Structure 1
Amino acid sequence: MKTIRLLSVLLMLSLMSAAWAQGPGSAAATFLLIQPSLRANGMGGASVSSAKNDALGIAFNPARLGVWANENFFMAEFFPAKSDWLAGLAPDIFYDARTFIAGYDLKKLDHRFPVSLGVGYTRVNLDLGEIVVTGPDDPTPIAVLHTVERAKLWTVGLGFDYWIKAGFGWSFKSIESELGPAINLVYPASTSIKAHDFGVVLYAPGEEIIARLTGKTLELRPGVRPVFGVGLGYSKSNIGDAISYIDAAQADPLPRTARVGLS
């Protein structure tokens, strides 16, 4: 059956705000602001309210995992090769991401229990290449730093499907920033910190609601039915302590970010 997807009328309100009044450059681990999902990037980053299948999208709204688990069992998504982050400018800077998610619809065990559960693992990696460290008196190299920043996310999602689809999710995040090893360098070469994200998404499938109310499938003509709905989403990311390398008194906050979307 041919399906016409009437998803073009999208009001995407992507509102991003920091939890603190941070000045430019005051946050650390800003690689966490990079959206790994190609679908989300194609939507201008305004995908927090989307309920469509997008495994890497749970990195910015873990609630999507709960809705996904309502109709799916397993999905993996990854970059087939490292992406040149600054192609033509810095040939040794790369970004890559991968995720594995699994879910189960408990309604299959009991139709009176419209709940789905999902779990996921996501890893993002930004390789910043090598940095040559010179001495205090002359430009003689004394060390070479290989800088890498990465984050690992363990996500759980809970979904409900009763007239509307609702998802709730939470991610535990392990963040690492490595500047070494570096010979003859006296400063600490790496640091790590824990953080978490949470989110909620609501989606009202218009054609399904009309079918329930009228008792028949909505069709424009035989074999052609529209698919449309309204979605609302909210997420908050990078909730955790400040991060420091050398002096704890000079720690910088994580780029805590809130997102709201309507589609």
Structure 2
Amino acid sequence: MNHKGRFLTGIIIGLLMSSSGYGQSTAGAIFLLISPGARAGGMGEAQIAVANDATASYWNPAGLAFLSGNELSGMHVKWLPGLADDMTYDFLAYNQSLNDFGSIGGHIIYLDAGKQTRTDSEGNIEGTFSTYFTSAALSYSALLTRTSSIGLNAKILYQHLADRATGTEQGNPWSTDFGFDFGYLKRDAFNGLLDFATVLINVGPKISFIDENQADPMPTTLKFGFNLHAVQQQHNKLNIVYDVSKLVVASYAAMDWDGDGWVGGYDENGRGGFVNGVPTETKGYEYNQDGQIETTHSDPIYLAIFTSWVDDWLLGGDRDI
């Protein structure tokens, strides 16, 4: 790989580790949001109300309850051909009907980010290392009624950035975490005219690598979708499918909430104080020249479902001290 390719790959890996939007939402393990399936790609990734094959394990596990028999689905692609040729994405999904006992299934994701060059603090090349991201999910789905179902995924994920830390960093540049997906699907509403669904995916604890104080929340996402059977004739069919997706992560820099001139236990001159009666230095906070700590606050999922929709200044914070 040439220098340009290495530079672009480094940027891509950084985005996979953590993504941000509008300054207040950040999340880790973004590779979980890379969508599998050629059909899904051709439909703009609007799938949660369709979910009628083995890939339902990824899109909406509730869809597995309506499947009969068993099915295996897989794909292997160069993820960014021409840009990072050694990056590949693999996906494998399976479902098995248990008849009156529902359906089980699962899927595996493997994203290989290729070989990276290791250098020392002076830029001397020391060798190469591999970066990859993987997850495995186990699915279960059952009918609530003849036309409605629920589904659950339990997943484990592993992110391997390098085989050892660099420089003076302490800890490991890899992480093992877990999460859950929840789905609901309603078929044939309004006399068979409409299917609709909702899912909440990637619910789990925060993700960290070297520094637990800089942990990022899981990419918890809330989706709503419908599948309108506009034309259903013997030789002609037309479906209108639409999904709405929202990353329900609320994260923002530490702010002067009460207007007392202190942010994260420090004043604008960098003098430490107390946080909940404990000296700032013992809490592990770090101060930067702007008078704000560099770590961010993240709302728990039961709050982020609501606070992720608004800017942080609407919540009463003020970064300026």
TM-score, normalized by length of structure 1? 0.72
Give the one of 97, 102, 113 matched to 2:96. 102
Give the one of 149, 164, 169 matched to 1:167. 149
Cα 1:34–1:144, aligned 2, differ >3 Å: closer, same or farther?
same
Q: Which residue of 2 aligns with 1:221?
A: none
- DSSP 3-state at the match of 1:231: strand
Give the one of 161, 164, 170 matched to 1:179. 161
Provide, for residues 210-244 of structure 1, a one-character-per-residue CA deviation record: whole Å limited to 9, x for no partner.
xxxxxxxxxxxxxxxxxx63101000110001100
Relative CO higher for 1 or 2, CA cutoff 8 Å, sep ≥ 6? Answer: 1
Contact 2:79 2:89 in 1 (8 A): yes
Inter-partner Cα distance in structure 2 for 1:204 and 1:259: 19
Q: Which residue of 1 aligns with 2:112?
A: 127
- Mark the runs of 5 or more structure 2 residues left unpaired by the alignment: 1-19, 228-321
User: Is 1:199 paired with 2:183?
Assistant: yes
Provide, for residues 15-59 of structure 1, a one-character-per-residue CA deviation record: whole Å limited to 9, x for no partner.
xxxxx98747821110111111322222211111115x3211321
Give the one of 206, 211, 224 matched to 1:260. 224
Provide, for residues 113-171 of structure 1, a one-character-per-residue CA deviation record: whole Å limited to 9, x for no partner.
xxx5000121011100111121112x211242201101100000002453xx1110000
- Mark the runs of 5 or more structure 1 residues left unpaired by the alignment: 1-19, 107-115, 210-227
Cα 1:121–1:21, aligned 2, differ >3 Å: closer, same or farther?
same
Contact 2:56 2:62 in 1 (8 A): no
Inter-partner Cα distance in structure 1 for 2:93 and 2:222: 22
User: Is 1:54 paired with 2:36?
Assistant: no
Give the one of 215, 224, 248 matched to 1:251. 215
Inter-partner Cα distance in structure 2 for 1:102 and 1:156: 10
User: Is 1:78 paired with 2:63?
Assistant: no
Provide, for residues 65-109 of structure 1, a one-character-per-residue CA deviation record: whole Å limited to 9, x for no partner.
1122xxx11111112xx3111101111100010011101322xxx
Instruction: Please state how far the C-alpha of 1:205 moved relative to its aligned partner.
Output: 6.9
Contact 2:115 2:128 in 1 (8 A): yes
Instruction: Please state how far the C-alpha of 1:61 moved relative to its aligned partner.
Output: 1.1
Contact 1:179 1:189 in 2 (8 A): yes
Q: Which residue of 1 aligns with 2:272?
A: none
Cα 1:35–1:183, aligned 2, differ >3 Å: closer, same or farther?
closer
Q: Which residue of 2 aligns with 1:241?
A: 205
Matched residue pairs, number?
206
- DSSP 3-state at the match of 1:26: strand
Q: Which residue of 1 aligns with 2:253?
A: none
Cα 1:124–1:200, aligned 2, differ >3 Å: closer, same or farther?
same
Equivalent residue runs for 1:31-46 within 5 Å: 31-46=31-46
Inter-partner Cα distance in structure 1 for 2:188 and 2:208: 44
Amino acid at match of 1:61: N
Cα 1:199–1:128, aligned 2, differ >3 Å: closer, same or farther?
same
Contact 2:57 2:106 in 1 (8 A): no
Contact 1:37 1:57 in 2 (8 A): no
Inter-partner Cα distance in structure 1 for 2:61 and 2:22: 25
Inter-partner Cα distance in structure 2 for 1:39 and 1:87: 19
Inter-partner Cα distance in structure 2 for 1:46 and 1:199: 15
Percent identity over paired residues: 27
Cα 1:41–1:21, aligned 2, differ >3 Å: closer, same or farther?
closer
Q: Which residue of 2 aligns with 1:65?
A: 64
Inter-partner Cα distance in structure 2 for 1:89 and 1:21: 24
Amino acid at match of 1:171: N
